[in-house]
Amino acid sequence: MGHQFLIAAFCATWAIQLGYVVWMIAKWRGQKAKLGSRS
Amino acid sequence: MKKLLFPLIALGVIALMGWGYYQAMYAAPTEATMGDVQRIFYYHVPNAMLSFLFFAISFVASCLYLAWRRNQPSLAQAADAWALAGAEVGVVYCSVVLITGPLWGRPVWGIWWTWDARLTTTLVLWLIYVSYLLLRHFAAGAQMQTLAAVLAIFGALDVPIVYMANRWWRTQHPAPVFGGSEDSGIKDPHMLAAFGWNVLAWAVWGLLLLAIRIVVERRQQSISGGEARAALAAD
């Protein structure tokens, strides 16, 4: 039973951390597109 | 060489995270009473410690923003980017703490949550910084930056209260592992090593996220500045 909670904690941790990385990449690409359309 | 630097750093950080995972899941011995679920500790505690560090960065940068906003506007904008990045990464780390804590508490305590001082003050800390991020998202202009800086400073005042909560009050949350009573601390050297490696790995990962977020925010500031100048020129 402890094992399931450990896996859940591991998955939740990385879902949050990688979710933030993906959001930053999306923001970065949005900025790049904006700068590209301006020039 | 400069182009290679970021992928090399990122690879180093990922390798360190992998080593931290190995230490937490395989190298550290299984705890006698809690079993495997105790390994959540190697994620939960480093994330909690480092959320304090990132909120402290936001606090210092917010103070600098308030000090520089009239006399040194370009430095103030840099400080504002640091404050935002610190708050965001701090919220990410604090979210991990608030999710992994109940996942440990359910099998060990038999409950997901209790309104004890440590848990409640941590939730309040998270709510303050989430409100900081919402303020920054939904408001605009120099006034917003000033209000956000004040809010970040107030939020950081909760950090020492969270830290001291299980020292000042009797809590359901376990006693402090470090800096508590005389017999506190991790006794097993393998557990201590696993904990140390995970603190280091999560610190380096967080600093990488912080650096990327500062760069993204600085670029956003230059885009917004360019748009403002274009709007003025059009008038």
Q: How far apart are CA B129 and CA B138, in angstroms?
A: 14
Residue B16: closest CA among B212, B233, B197, B235? B197
| pLDDT at position B179 | 67
Q: What is the pTM of this model?
A: 0.93
Q: Which residue range(s) make up the domain with B82?
A: 35-176+188-234
Task: Band the pLDDT of B144: cuts 50, 70, 90.
Answer: very high
Give the tens place of pLDDT for each residue, B26-71: 999 888 888 889 999 999 999 999 999 999 999 999 999 999 999 9
Subunit contact A5:B34, Cβ cutoff 8 A: no
Q: Distance (Å) from the C-alpha of residue B72 to the closest C-alpha of chain A?
A: 26
Neighbours of B15 (CB within 10 A): 11
Does residue B40 lie in a domain region? yes
Tell me what percent of the residues of chain B surpass a pLDDT of 90: 73
Give the tens place of pLDDT for each residue, A4-37: 999 999 999 999 999 999 999 999 999 988 888 7
Q: Which residue has the higher pLDDT, B130 or B29?
A: B130
**Partner A contacted by B207 (CB < 8 A):** no
| pLDDT at position B232 | 74
Residues of chain B positioned with their CB less than 8 A from the CB of A34:
223
Burial category of B26 from C-beta neighbours within 10 Å (exposed 0-12, middle 13-18, buried 19 and up): exposed
Q: Distance (Å) from the C-alpha of residue B25 to the closest C-alpha of chain A?
A: 10
Does residue B134 lie in a domain region? yes
Nearest-5° Cα angle at B225, B140 to A28: 85
Q: How far apart are CA B150 and CA B217, in angstroms?
A: 19
Does residue B47 lie in a domain region? yes
Q: How far apart are CA B170 and CA B166, in angstroms?
A: 6
First to last CA, chain A: 58
The tally of domains found in chain B comes to: 1
Closest-approach residue (CA) in chain B for A26: B216
ipTM: 0.92
Dihedral over Cα of B138, B139, B141, B144: its sign: negative
Neighbours of B103 (CB within 10 A): 24
**Partner A contacted by B136 (CB < 8 A):** no
Does residue B23 lie in a domain region? no
Does residue B12 lie in a domain region? no
Give the tens place of pLDDT for each residue, B59-111: 999 999 999 999 999 999 999 999 999 999 999 999 999 999 999 999 998 99
A1 has a pLDDT exceeding 60: no
**Partner A contacted by B37 (CB < 8 A):** yes
Closest-approach residue (CA) in chain B for A31: B220
Residues of chain A positioned with their CB less than 8 A from the CB of B39:
6
Does residue B203 lie in a domain region? yes
B128 has a pLDDT exceeding 70: yes
Does residue B139 lie in a domain region? yes
Does residue B25 lie in a domain region? no
First to last CA, chain B: 44
Residues of chain A positioned with their CB less than 8 A from the CB of B107:
1-2, 5
**Optimal mutation site among A3, A17, A34, interface B, most CBs of chain B within 10 A:** A17
Dihedral over Cα of A8, A11, A13, A15: its sign: negative
| pLDDT at position B180 | 65
B1 has a pLDDT exceeding 90: no
- Smallest Cβ–Cβ distance between A13 and the set B43, B216, B220 belongs to B43
The mean per-residue pLDDT over the stretch B132-147 comes to 90
Task: Band the pLDDT of B227: cuts 50, 70, 90.
Answer: confident
A3 has a pLDDT exceeding 90: no
Residues of chain A positioned with their CB less than 8 A from the CB of B213:
24
**Optimal mutation site among A3, A20, A22, A38, interface B, most CBs of chain B within 10 A:** A20
Give the tens place of pLDDT for each residue, B196-220: 999 999 999 999 999 999 999 999 9
